[in-house]
Structure 1
């Protein structure tokens, strides 16, 4: 109903809807053109959204989604179940190899880090959930790492599910592709042996 509407909230949500796009970052002018809002209005809305982590401004002045939407999405039961199954395996991979372990997922023409575990060492690949880069090849989702390397293993997926990979990454001279491949294969087998059904409210209680 009309009396239930809050104009400022709806404007902020309109701004957020703009980021549901293959374009990752927007200039203020692009946001103004897309939303139809004045730049002065947009700056106030973006300021409020940025304070709560819904958007963030990069060094070049362009706006992109912040960490809050991803954090809230992980509260959704399927995401929580995925984390419960995979995160322990990533931690074990990190312990065994001393390198960064991650679960990667294809999101349109991007690769996104869904989960990650970091080794307790200063020289490492700092990869965190929410990190994204262009997906150049469905068979090779690895980004270009200066002085580093990433080894991946594609996971089996059901129809309608996004492509996912287990990944190990670290300094090129330290991370052995052969050792990484063996560790990833073992992790995939351990993951396949775990139940995949999402717990219902009855079974979870």
Structure 2
């Protein structure tokens, strides 16, 4: 079985596994501690992972998951089936309101964007699948500087719908009404059969 191992691939996979944490991003030192790899080795691996958007480096030099893992996860059969049920509702919600519409789920105190549709406008909130933030209880809305997010639970499921965009563009009452209608449509589509 040892001949089936590719050391560099296993090291890269150990880096990816390190991101299975509640932290939004990790420093090079934190990654070195989690993987037991030398920082010089980590930098080479992270460079390759960054080129393929498996990880992204922010302005502070911290690393977080890139868009590729979420994109590949959506190819998984249950995720594709979920997308086929939800995307038409999100697209209609986005079209009708002019704001970013998203399906969110919560796991272990973190909200995650599972699916989203962005409006065709330069001034918008860009929320992409895979983005996560901390959530305790109550309203799971993300704090947006200069913007606003309104959320609505989908009845009988672990999912939430959200609308987000620049503050003042969509009145809160209209956002809540549109979200309630969309949540009702989704609950009628047997969304409860899909795990969050």
TM score, norm. by length of structure 2: 0.90
Runs of 4+ residues deviating >6 angstroms: none
User: Separation in 1 of the partners of 2:93 and 2:6?
Assistant: 48
Report whether the alignment pairs 1:69 with 2:64.
Answer: no
Aligned to 1:178: 173
Query: Which consecutive residues of structure 2, in runs of 5 or more, have no partner in the other structure?
Result: none
Q: Report the Cα offset of residue 29 of structure 1.
A: 1.5
Give runs of aligned pairs for residues 10-89 of structure 1, distance below 5 A. 10-89=10-89
Greater C-alpha radius of gyration: 1
Q: Report the Cα offset of residue 130 of structure 1.
A: 2.2
Q: Report the Cα offset of residue 107 of structure 1.
A: 3.1
Aligned to 1:147: 146
Instruction: Report if aligned partners of 1:125, 1:169 keep a CA contact under 8 Å in 2.
Output: yes
Pair 1:59–1:107, CA change in 2 (3 A): farther
Aligned to 1:188: 183
TM score, norm. by length of structure 1: 0.86
Instruction: Report if aligned partners of 2:155, 2:184 keep a CA contact under 8 Å in 1.
Output: no
Instruction: Report if aligned partners of 2:155, 2:183 keep a CA contact under 8 Å in 1.
Output: no
Q: Report the Cα offset of residue 103 of structure 1.
A: 0.9
**Count of equivalent residues:** 193
User: Separation in 2 of the partners of 1:107 and 1:58?
Assistant: 24
Instruction: Report if aligned partners of 2:57, 2:63 keep a CA contact under 8 Å in 1.
Output: yes
Deviation string, structure 1 residues 70-108 (Cα, Å, up to 9, x no partner): 111111111111111111111111121122211111132
Instruction: Report if aligned partners of 1:153, 1:165 keep a CA contact under 8 Å in 2.
Output: yes
- Cα RMSD of the aligned pairs, angstroms, is 1.8
Query: Which consecutive residues of structure 1, in runs of 5 or more, have no partner in the other structure?
Result: 199-205
Q: Report the Cα offset of residue 157 of structure 1.
A: 4.1
3-state SS in 1 of match to 2:96: helix
User: Separation in 2 of the partners of 1:8 and 1:16?
Assistant: 13
User: Separation in 2 of the partners of 1:171 and 1:37?
Assistant: 43
